[in-house]
Amino acid sequence: MTLLTCLMDEPHALIPQMLSLMAVSVGALARRGVLGAASIRAAHDHSGHAVTQEDLLMPQYHDSRVYPLPTLPYRKELDAEQKALKEKEKGSWKQLSEAEKVALYRLQFKQTFAEMKRPSNEWKTVLGGAFAFIGFTGLIVWWQHAYVLPEKPHTLTDEWKAMQLKRMLDMRANPIQGLSSKWDYEKNEWKK
Amino acid sequence: MSAGLLPKPQMRGLLTKRLRFHMVGAFILSVGSGLLYKFGVAEPRKRAYTEFYKNFDPMKDFEAKKAAGVFQSVPSTES
């Protein structure tokens, strides 16, 4: 079931066929007891009977936004009361009460679309974790600046940069729209 | 059934409606961005160049550079 739930996180329309294909290979593994945990989870999901390894060979019920009407009903084994309700369903639906309609829905489906699409708080964990790691990286970067990186070249000192700028202005670099166009050559200062 | 029917949704012409919306939008955005660039970037640049070269004297420019001492092949006069 763990393999199947991985697929369920990215559902697509071929899931029921894929599930039956997967169930075949999964069943082969299950017979070797590899998917013991999977059987336990399937047992909790199902309506009450013990999940045998043969069950994993059959198509599974699966809630999916892109496959809204699953191949099987959610509850296949019905008690007497539920069976009676199913018989009543064969008649006119106008005689069904609201509670009965909801009960019939719940027999057929595990979760409503609203329940399926409910938001989770996972994004907070993701963002928090990402920022935590980025912060830790910041610490590493600071330590590198302090203990690893060599001295800055002399051409990055303020005096050298001033000499460099003066030379660029003397050469009239980019005189039309760029650097030298912003310099006032008469007053020897930047244009206002 | 629950009380009150929902209004009938649009059944036809869904692609047409979507296509019209997007074609109009695409046209407006592309023509608009073209015009924005022309009048925000291209025209000011053309004006700047004409202004610069209207009264540009290359010899005076050369003398100023020579005085500043930026040439390797021309001996500079200290300014």
Confirm whether B35 is domain-assigned.
no
Domain span at residue B53?
43-69
Interface test with A, best of B47, B50, B70 (most A CBs within 10 A): B70
Note the pLDDT tens digit of each residue in A16-49: 555 555 545 444 444 554 444 455 554 455 555 6
ipTM (interface predicted TM): 0.75
CB A108 within 8 Å of CB A73: yes
Question: What string of pLDDT tens digits covers the 192 residues of chain A?
Answer: 444 544 444 445 555 555 555 545 444 444 554 444 455 554 455 555 677 777 788 888 999 999 999 989 999 888 999 999 999 999 999 999 999 999 999 999 999 999 999 999 999 999 999 999 999 999 999 999 999 999 999 999 999 999 999 999 999 999 999 999 999 999 999 998
What CA–CA distance (Å, rounded) separates A33 from A53? 9
What CA–CA distance (Å, rounded) separates A97 from B38? 69
- Partners of B52 on chain A (C-beta within 8 Å) are 175-176, 181
CB contact under 8 A, A176 and B65: no
Among B48, B61, B69, the residue with its CB nearest the CB of A176 is: B48
Other Cβ atoms closer than 10 A to A168? 16
Confirm whether B59 is domain-assigned.
yes
Give the mean pLDDT of B45-63.
Answer: 96
Phi-psi domain of A135 (left: phi exceeds 0; alpha: psi -120 through 50; beta: other): alpha
Confirm whether B6 is domain-assigned.
no
Q: DSSP string covering A11-71, please?
A: --TTHHHHHHHHHHHHHHHHTTTTTHHHHHHHHHHSSSSPPPTTGGGSPPP---SSS-S-S
Confirm whether B25 is domain-assigned.
no
Question: Residue for token digits 């022309």?
Answer: B38
- Partners of A181 on chain B (C-beta within 8 Å) are 48, 52
Q: Which of A39, A160, A169 is nearest to B68 (CA)?
A: A169
> How does DSSP classify residue A77?
S
* pLDDT recorded at residue A41: 53
pTM of the model: 0.54
- Partners of A185 on chain B (C-beta within 8 Å) are 64
Residue B65 in contact with partner chain A when CB distance is under 8 A: yes
The secondary structure of B10-60, three-state, reads CCCCHHHHHHHHHHHHHHHHHHHHHHHHHHHHHHHHHHHHHHHHHCCCHHH
Which H or E run contains A183? strand A183-184
CA dihedral A36, A38, A43, A47 (to 10 degrees): -160
SS3 for A142? helix
Task: Please list, in sequence order, all residues whose beta carbon lies within 8 angstroms of the beta carbon of residue A86, skipping any fewer than 6 positions away.
Answer: A78, A104, A107
What CA–CA distance (Å, rounded) separates B63 from B74? 11
At residue B72, φ and ψ (nearest 5 deg) are -90, -30
Confirm whether B26 is domain-assigned.
no
Confirm whether B16 is domain-assigned.
no
* pLDDT recorded at residue A58: 86
What CA–CA distance (Å, rounded) separates A120 from A176? 57
Confirm whether B49 is domain-assigned.
yes
Confirm whether B2 is domain-assigned.
no
Domains in chain B: how many in total?
1
